[in-house]
Amino acid sequence: MAKFDILVHLRSHEGESLAAAVALTLARRIDAYVYGLYVAPMGSVAFSTPETVVFQVHEADHLYDDAIAQGGWWKSLVAQGEPVEAICHAARWCDLVVAKRPLLNPDAPIGWGTVSRTVFGAGVPVVVVPETAKIGELGARVLIAWNHSREATRAIRGALPFLKQAQQVVVLDGAEQQVLVGARHLPQLDLRAFFARHGVQAEFREFTVRNDYGAAILDNAHKMQADLIVMGAWGHSRIAELVLGGATRHLFQFSDLPLFVAH
């Protein structure tokens, strides 16, 4: 009986889905249950007349029925309305969300699109699947970007079932928490001991990059032939990362590997 639930956002109910392929590959690795969610688009009603609202409701019902009729290879949970709201609602009973991020994001800049807002609102980790990702033996070789932050800790805890099954886990051990937030004399997580208790075999490597963290993380992932990167997301505000740049923004934009992230 599956004890881990994965929610995958399907941007279309036609053709193959890269996000679904990732979700099903991860599910097979740890024997998880997969929900498929397709959100039927519904036009804005903010400036509509009563007559057009009725038309839009009927059109949404038609889209819903059409999506149900296309069920076939997945049993889907279908919602109408704004995608992020629907995804975050369904994430309440799941342990992980899988969502594809288009290379050219059509709905918003990096940090404000569907996937980024889902990372903020889902309350569970999200696997961000780049449009250019090639899915093979996903979760076999995992790189962890560990900066001692709350976000990174949440990502690691969420990834534990996959880390236990991985063939290789490499931890890039970066800046300590007090350097980032000015905290002093707080108890710190001993990640080595934590992994030992949870049965995760990991290699720790010092990570002392002064800038371009995102590029350095991706470079290290390529060198070890990783198929998954685990990291915290948006440790700084989205506005700061949009203006000044940041690891999350860089990897969301340039990574060709799936990102297991949490905020």
Residues 175 and 203 in one domain: yes
Q: Which residue, of 130, 151, 186, is where some domain finishes?
A: 130
CATH of the domain at 119: 3.40.50.620
Residues 107 and 150 in one domain: no
> Does residue 76 belong to any structural domain of this protein?
yes
* CB neighbour list of residue 181: distance below 8 Å, 6 or more residues apart: none
Provide the token pair at 48.
Answer: 């509509």
List, for residues 192-250, the tens digit of each pLDDT value. Answer: 999 999 999 999 999 988 778 999 999 999 999 999 999 999 876 655 555 445 888 89
Task: Name the percent of the chain lying above pLDDT 90.
Answer: 54
Q: How many domains does the chain have?
A: 2
pTM for the full model?
A: 0.82
Q: Which residue, of 83, 105, 130, is where some domain finishes?
A: 130
> What range does the domain containing 33 cover?
5-130
Q: Which residue, of 130, 151, 167, is where some domain finishes?
A: 130
